[in-house]
Structure 1
Amino acid sequence: MTRTGATAAERVVHFVLPGDVDDPAAPSGGNIYDRRVCRDLPSAGWQVRPYALPGSWPRPDATACAGLAQRLAALPDGAVVLLDGLVACGVPEVLAPEAARLRLAVLVHLPLADETGLDPALAAELDAREHRTLHAVEAVVATSDWAARRLVTHHGLAAARVHAALPGADPAPLAPGTDGAAGLLCVAAVTPRKGHRRLIDALATVTELPWSCACVGALDRDPGYVAQLRGAVATFGLGDRITFTGPQAGADLEASYNAADLLVLTSYAETYGMVVTEALARGIPVLATAVDGVPEAVGQAPDGSVPGLLVPPGRPAALADALRGWLGDPQLRDRVRSSARGRRAMLEGWEMTSHSLAGVLEQLRHKPRSTR
């Protein structure tokens, strides 16, 4: 018996999400992006039917896999389905049987093997699974132009099947900051990929200058790593200057941005780096490692200047030098802050994200179902 989907006039997307997407204790760029898609796609003409599935994605147990398989099997023939890559990329054996019947697209926030600290054998396995998944579906959506190009080349995907839908940035008032220099802010889950250890090491070289650094982000992803960081802070005698606040949202997060003079992001891998544009929306300059999609997020001001300091990821001394320059050179700070405010006026909102994604879904809706 053939199941019928939406009528020709309806635009409905079934959005499969990680189970913690709405958990305030588990904030992440991916979860924020997914929630905005759910909220904003209707204004672009698409009804969203979200399904948050519990599981230890991307390495789920049999129960979680069965839950995903049942959810997909219950959808009508020809349904347009968008799956968060954290859920989809590790389970090609679940998606492939439905690929000919459903119109599937995967939203890749971070390639699975790019997570820092993975055992090489596990990284290779996840990469192979992601490869199979992305070749099974009709469309792939990345969150930066850099990430889209990477997926095409790394997985050998047809460029026409890979699309970019960049995160937007909400307008925000200018952050007042502190003294214009000393208030440093790092907004990132405390995991090895985010590079907190190299930030701490660099800060330990500039203790003669005034600064304080608030590290805002989840502390429960890798407790062993958090313990190592706390040990390093204690060893360097920086307990009164570096704080780990845990995750923040709403007014608490806004207060942290308002107290910031500089955002620091020292990641080893980032497909985009949404916190970069969140800071720039408040006129806060950025110091970041120039990895992957981060330079794309930082961008340029109208005069071509860079609204921050980008340092090579493989040179710890460059990070320390950049911090010393920011803290010790008022003219440098003035130039970078002026550039950040110029970039602030150029940031695109989330409506552009929804517009880009709606275009991908519209193509998918009209495309004949795969015979692969």
Structure 2
Amino acid sequence: MPGRRTIPPERTVPRARIAVLISGTGSNMAALLYASRLSDAPFEIVLVASNDPSAPGLALAAAEGIATFALAHKGLPRAEHEAQMEAAILAADADYIALAGYMRVITAETVSHWSGRMLNIHPSLLPKYTGLDTHARAIAAGDSHGGVSVHLVTEELDAGEVLGQIAVAIQPGDTADTLARRVLFAEHQLYPRVLADYVSRGNNPEHLLARVRELALALPETHERSSHGSPGFRVGSEKSGKFFAHFADQHHGVEHIGLLVKTGSMDELENLVETQPQAYYKPAYYGASGWVGLILNRPGVDWNHIGEWLERSWRAVAPPRLTKLMNAADDF
């Protein structure tokens, strides 16, 4: 199975499409916009939308050639206003939403629809000081630092997973306004970096391996062992265990970051590759033995499905005493 590893091709990864929602000057939107103009930026801004047609950030975006959309929320039911905002976002074919000073609470329905794809920036070191008046509250509490957090949006206000933070020292005599001005500098540094890292994670081998590792090692009596220089996962003892999965980062010149697992037959392998080439490929060397490659560096990977494949492959090589226990648990 081992062979000489060829130099992999350069990854040609499409940039993530971002819709930014603002309510005012849009300084964080501007930070994202200008960061997106860097040659190695993994995202582009495709829409700037606002609930205030007079928001200064709209004019800045338009001057930079970015599509804009504005709809005043006053006089409209929340659900109707939000539906029209989302329609504009969908029409722009956005992959993610970045809230940047958008002063509207998003409904649970929209949050659910964009779960894992909506980010927000908040001027505190979450979980401290959710909501408003964050700087005044930090000063009143005698904190040594205020700061800023970027987090995923969930139904609970400012409670989603924190993706990045910067602490900003509170100086003697600080007011909410003076602290806010310094925190804003940190915001403009943090948001573009965190957004870039987040939208790139699906093409980051370290991130993908970490997700595979978590799923593989959750199965009974498994351990990790390198195979031909790449991570592999075995079931059974360290001495006699058998591989049930291999992680492949562009091996043998293919463009994919893949997870190799065992199929039931060559017919199944060939059928998967032929009918779903966007999700499966036939790996060099391993493919001849009935292993299929699951493409991990693609949009919309279903990690529950990846977990099911890992378990199936594990069952194919695990000792009977382990599969009997697993089967009994399934029956129960």
- Which interval holds the TM-score relative to the shorter structure? 0.3 to 0.5
Bigger proportion of residues as strand: 2
TM-score normalised over the length of structure 2: 0.33
Q: Which has the larger radius of gyration?
A: 2
Q: Which structure exhibits the higher relative contact order, with contacts defined as CA atoms closer than 8 Å and separated by 6 or more residues?
A: 1
